[in-house]
Chains A and B, each alone.
Chain A
Amino acid sequence: MIAAAPIATPAVDLWAIAPIIALVATGVGLVLIRALLRRNQAVTPVCFSVAVVGLLVAAGLLARQWHRVRDDGPIVSLADMVRVDPFAVFLGIVIVAATLAGLLLAYAYLRREDLEAPEYFALLLLSAAGMLMMTTANDLVVVFVALEVLSIPLYVLVAFDRRRLRSQEAGLKYFVLGAFSSAVFLYGIALVYGATGTTSLSGIATFLAGNTLFEQTTLLVGLGLLLVGLGFKVAAVPFHMWTPDVYQGAPTPVTAFMAAATKAAAFAAVLRIVLTAFPQYRDDWRPILWVLAALSMLVGAVAALVQNDVKRTLAYSSIAHAGYILMGVYAASSRGREAALLYLLVYAFMAIGAFAVVMIAAPGPDDAKHSYDDYRGLAVRRPVLGGLLIFFVLAQAGVPLTSGFVGKLELFGSVAQAGETSDYVLLVIGVLSAVIAFAFYLRIAWTLVTAPDDDTAVAAAYSTRPRRVDGWTGIVLAGAAALTLVVGVLPGTFIHFARDAVFF
């Protein structure tokens, strides 16, 4: 046998990927605990506690990373594939917070819906690990692996309510379209690799800066396919078809988690790919983002107007919000990036808060009745709960003194700063969309404060005993409301936080 020549193995900085390891280890550990405590009654509380501890450890590690990468510059490790910079850590914190909310909301929900299964916690943590991986990815292949790691548990989570047909339908729909979008994304990677000879994001940028491509079609088609693949994940029009059905059908804690965390992770990939790898091609990708942003804002807001289901309305509103965030990406400036990051943070909490109320407020034994009629008079019957939902939808509408206002102001400002005609057109579309959106947010608020028309509906509403708000849900609601209010009243700290986080 020939003497083996050592193969160079990359240096591994475990500290850089410690939060991901914490989440994966906890997720795998939960599977083991579940397997060993098969018939034990305490398995759900034990798994829940372990999951919470794992998330808090990840959050602690992220907090320590934040100070280090902000002061000493980014950590690049694993043969340039992982890049931990303020941008990644900021979105990592948003994702971990959203995961914690998805976890806390689920505890009482799973018992209530008779779905108690610790597998939920494991899947949630593994999905969150994929999202953290996505924020730190500096290589298209890592982005793809992260995309799969975050998506596959989500497919299962969406279909977690096995007995409810809508949940199964949503899971299948999300799975088929998700697999399709992954394939498109992968094809994009292949074409970009074909054009540049590398999959590393910084490597692509270096190559494109140093070489003029003789033939650009391959690269441009590849870039387009990458944007299509990610467009599915961020739910931008015209790749949004799955969103209303999946958000409506999924168990409500999963919907909250998806709206907040998946969006943050997918936007991390969008921002990093277009801004790190293709800065030379900004004249080519900016028009694409212009169209995506304009369509998302308009279609999302207009379609939300005509819905009869609160959960579905919120799903369409999340499409419109994806459009607002795309404006920040479109701006292609550090101000735009800062605004997009801030908006991802504030939207995560507005969405979690709104879906948390929806989870509690829906009448009936299962998580299916969310029509406007079911919500009529909620704020009269249960002032705190109804008031919170009104607060969260007004925040999403962008009323002053809420975080939504600050976020929208920053986004619109970042587009206005660029100052070309097409920028102003996009700005007008954005404001138009915000005005349309106001209509359906006010419709939700109006529904909550008006009493049902006929007596039978009143009787029906009062005959079902109102659902108690359990402690964990209470914590999530209080946290989301506090953050939405604090960012609205004292935005300074958070704008600084986002400003520190723009650095790649």
Chain B
Amino acid sequence: MTEFYRSYLAVAVLILAAIGMVGFMLGLGRLIRPVRAQEQKYIPYEAGSDPTGTFGQSNVRYYVFALLFVIFDVEAVFIFPWAVNLESLGWFGLVEMTIFVVVLTLGLVYAWRKGVLRWA
């Protein structure tokens, strides 16, 4: 085994340990817990009342919010290192980041005008 592969040995050990630990905990739970199958336990939870219609476990309308969240999450990932190094980057960095934020804002304006943010 070369040095290159040996350096990844720790990763392999960690993967095995993770699988072993999760398997142990789930397996132990399965062994000692009582199992009483009831039909009600297998329907989606809707605040205690019986679910109506074809409502699944989550509403598809959350998807748009999730998408918008991801966009601004990624924006934050870009902005943090930029903000820390703003002095070093100088005007170049400021202009670049302004363009980036403006383009993203335009996307938000578009989504807003399209009524994506209204819970219809």
Contact = CB atoms under 8 A, between A and B. Distances in A.
A6 B110 CA distance: 37
Contacts of B103: 28
Given A4-B87, A36-B113, A38-B113, A31 B107 contact: yes
Interface stretch (B27-35, B36-44, B65-73, B88-96): B88-96
Nearest to B107: A31
B118 interface: no
A35 interface: yes
A5 B88 contact: yes
Interface in B65-113: 85, 87-90, 92-93, 103, 106-107, 109-110, 112-113
Given A4-B85, A4-B87, A9 B92 contact: yes
Given A6-B90, A9-B90, A9-B92, A35 B85 contact: no
Nearest to A5: B88
B20 to A, nearest CB: 29
A37 to B, nearest CB: 9
Interface residues of A, number: 12
A5 B87 CA distance: 8
A35 B85 CA distance: 34
Nearest to B115: A38
A32 B106 contact: yes
A4 B110 contact: no
Given A9-B93, A36-B113, A28 B87 contact: no
A52 to B, nearest CB: 21
A32 B110 contact: yes
A4 B88 CA distance: 5
B114 interface: yes
Contact of A35 (B88, B89, B93, B110): B110
Contacts of A6: 88, 90
Interface of B: 85, 87-90, 92-93, 103, 106-107, 109-110, 112-114
List 4 A-B pairs, minimum CB-CB distance, nearest first.
Answer: A4-B87, A35-B113, A9-B92, A4-B88
